[in-house]
A and B are shown apart, each in its own frame.
Chain A
Amino acid sequence: DIQMTQSPSSLSASVGDRVTITCRASQSISSYLNWYQQKPGKAPKLLIYDASSLQSGVPSRFSGSGSGTDFTLTISSLQPEDFATYYCQQSDSTPWTFGQGTKVEIK
């Protein structure tokens, strides 16, 4: 199985900050990398697919990059509604494994 490792596990940031979350795969997954946002008590929401494609309706302050084994999710200017947990997921091969999550908290 492909292991996905996110870093950091949590971070504290202020509104307006630029935030970067990284995700590393245990083997190459090409660009088959998705990013999801989850708020407490809610279902996950797709933000980015294929490493860098923005899902319809997602604000442009979210962006993704990377290929192979190393990927990043960037929030260019953190907004109050962005405080949540973020998960990466590889969809190169089953099982479609998730990273352990990164919790973005208010500083």
Chain B
Amino acid sequence: EVQLLESGGDLVQPGGSLRLSCAASGFTFIYYAMTWVRQAPGKGLEWVSAIGGGGSPTYYADSVKGRFTISRDNSKNTLYLQMNSLRAEDTAVYYCAKRSTSSRADDFWGQGTLVTVSS
């Protein structure tokens, strides 16, 4: 059974940093590209970043480029999102998702972790 478990969400002050993790199980992690998507409270979905199965290529939304870094440790079956220079507008639930190999869609999602940026 595919499982994605996000962790690391917390309350952080503006300008601070946070690292999110997504522990994967139930599939051969290295074979799959992975994605981060976020959802601000009461708002829609916003694609944040993606990474290939081997760790490259990486892609970022303009809103986080230069501040966020996506990475993965395939020996630990874990996806990461390092978030620096956090802003109030980064407040959201962050979801990790597994990209399908047969389409350009995210076919399985974790339950999300909440990041709150506030003083």
Contact = CB atoms under 8 A, between A and B. Distances in A.
Interface size classification for chain A: 20 to 34
Q: Main SS of the interface on chain A?
A: loop
- Which of the listed residues A38, A94, A100 has the most CB atoms from chain B within 10 Å of its own CB? A94
A89 interface: yes
B45 A32 contact: no
Given A44-B109, A45-B109, A98 B44 contact: yes
A3 interface: no
A95 B106 contact: no
B6 to A, nearest CB: 10
B89 to A, nearest CB: 16
Interface in B33-64: 35, 37, 44-47, 50, 59-62
B107 interface: yes
B47 A96 contact: yes
Nearest to B106: A46
Interface stretch (B10-18, B73-81, B97-105): B97-105
Interface of A: 1, 32, 34, 36, 38, 42-46, 49-50, 53, 55, 87, 89, 91-92, 94-101
Interface of B: 35, 37, 44-47, 50, 59-62, 95, 97, 100, 103-112
30 contacts: A34-B105, A34-B106, A42-B111, A43-B95, A43-B109, A43-B110, A43-B111, A44-B95, A45-B109, A46-B106, A46-B108, A49-B100, A49-B103, A49-B104, A49-B107, A50-B105, A87-B44, A87-B45, A89-B47, A89-B105, A91-B104, A91-B105, A95-B60, A95-B61, A96-B35, A97-B47, A98-B46, A99-B44, A100-B44, A101-B44
